[in-house]
Amino acid sequence: MAVFKPVSEGILHVIQSASSITPRLLENLNGDSKRPQLTTPRKMMTSGMPEFEAIERAQQGDGECFEALYSMHKRRVYSLCLRMTGNTAEAEDLTQEAFLQLYRKIATFRGESAFSTWLHRLAVNVVLMHLRKKGLPEVSLQETMEPTEEDGPKKDFGAHDQVLAGSIDRVNLERAIESLPPGYRIIFVLHDVEGYEHNEIAEMMGCSIGNSKSQLHKARMKLRDLLKVTRAERAGARK
């Protein structure tokens, strides 16, 4: 027997990706156009249950509410894990581990930060712990701030008519990120995709702020090269 009933059969009707929901869609989903429109798109939209109540009930061991929280946040956590590891199987394992830790620790959530922020930080720590166990170099502490020849802009890419602006699409950028060396990829994802500040990254990674900035710069330089190669290949294929 399943521990949780499927959410669709339960009292909650969780709408995933609430941030992309339009007021019109909300009306339709609520099934009542006269109902006041919800104006807090990041809150869990449920049938009379805001996110904070779902959290409170999950803290008391309510499995259905926990599943609702999972449904609400699974994409963001999974995307984080996938981008940081570049591996689907690992990302799924880490997503599972992050939510297991969430369940074990949710009673300690005091609302001092947004729940999504708290969960996200927990997920980052799960991924970093995993990478440490694997022995992958996150950030070389011996890394210097001196640019190497490899890090410098290539002459071929310096001309005015070859700037990147307007040439990147989501798929190519995702692929380029995936092909970054692990240490660069982690810093880039944390800073440029997820929006962490250098001081937060330095704390999480156990490195200096300068080191975080250096690695981020190298990651962007590497991406620049990768994206220009991709663009050149596409242009060649069209000829």
Partner 1 sequence: MRTGEAKAMATQQETKATGIGAVEVPGRDNQMNCADFQRDLPLIIDSGGSEEQEEHLRTCAVCRDLVNDLRYIADQAKLLVPMLEPSPKVWDGIEEKLKLEGLIKPAQARRTP
- Interface residues toward partner 1, by CB under 8 A: 2-5, 10, 17, 60-64, 66-67, 70, 74-76, 78-80, 82, 91-92, 95-96, 99-100, 103-104, 145-147, 149-150, 152-155, 158-160, 162-165, 168, 170, 173-174, 177, 188, 192-193, 195, 210, 213-214, 216-218, 220-221, 223-224, 227
CB of 167 to partner 1, least distance (A): 9
Determine the straight-line distance between the first and last CA of the chain, rounded to whole angstroms.
60
Supply the minimum distance, in Å, between the C-beta of residue 78 and partner 1.
4
Nearer to partner 1, 27 or 192 (CB): 192
Nearer to partner 1, 131 or 223 (CB): 223
Minimal distance in Å, beta carbon 224 to partner 1? 5
d(CA 178, CA 144): 24
Closer to partner 1 by CB, 100 or 229: give it: 100
Q: Which is nearer to partner 1, 35 or 210 (CB)?
A: 210
Spell out the SS3 assignment of 151-200. Answer: HCCCHHHCCHHHCCCCCCCHHHHHHHHHCCCHHHHHHHHHHHHCCCCHHH
- In degrees rounded to 5, what are phi and psi of residue 5? -75, 150
- Identify which of residues 30 and 96 has a Cβ nearer to partner 1 in the complex: 96
Neighbours of 95 (CB within 10 A): 23
Distances (CA, A) of 126 to 101, 130, 161, 204: 9, 6, 43, 11
- For residue 92, the minimal CB distance to partner 1 (Å) is 5
Check residue 39 and report its DSSP letter. Answer: -
Please check whether residue 190 is in contact with residue 127, taking contact to mean a CB–CB distance below 8 angstroms.
no
Whichever of 30 and 228 has its CB closer to partner 1, that residue is: 228
The 10 Å CB-count burial string (b at 16+, else e) for 6-15 is: ebeebebbbb
CB 210, min distance to partner 1, A? 7
Shortest distance in whole angstroms from residue 189 CB to partner 1: 8
